[in-house]
Structure 1
């Protein structure tokens, strides 16, 4: 996975819930989540196994945070459409 710039990602948890986050290195951040250590997002603790369900690149941190917020405002059905590629979100800086 290319780690240029900021990315927004969605993780599917073992209980089928969805977690959204941002990172400049999604592979590293996902590994931290899977390790269930001190750097794991609190929400993800004990919710394994985890699956990286969606990743998209953003132009900068501000835009990544805006997109993360928009995704978090979506209904579960809309998030599943986003993951399946049936829904497109656009944030322009």
Structure 2
């Protein structure tokens, strides 16, 4: 099993990661051992997580979410997948009439 998770850092940024042991990984982040990114932005707070049957599925979601803007990540945390439907660059262009 794997988990993808999102942390809100002290500076307001959102960090996305994946792990096979969420409790342990959160403790590592809190202790400054989680990643260089979060180490410089303590304290951190878990704002979202989801479990997957396989760690490679969690890793794929981690990479997908890492490619999202801060605004899209926030919308996802607050409203789930329904809140971010239509956020793709293609959908935004279509809505604005660019093509």
Structure 1 contact 7–55 (Cα < 8 Å) conserved: yes
**Which structure has the bigger radius of gyration?**
2
* Aligned residue pair count: 83
Runs of 4+ in 1 over 3 A off after TM superposition: none
TM-score for the superposition, normalised by structure 2: 0.77
- Out of 17, 24, 28, the position equivalent to 2:24 is 28
| Residue ranges of structure 2 left out of the alignment (5+ in a row) | 85-99
Extract unaligned runs of 5+ from structure 1: none
2:39 to 27, 42, 45: 45
SS state of the match for residue 51, structure 2?
A: strand
Report deviation, 1:85.
2.5
What is the aligned-residue RMSD (CA, Å)? 1.5
Asked if the contact 2:65–2:73 (Cα under 8 Å) also holds between the matched residues in 1, the reply is yes
Which of 76, 83, 91 is 2:70 aligned to? 76
Q: TM-score, with normalisation over the residues of structure 1?
A: 0.81
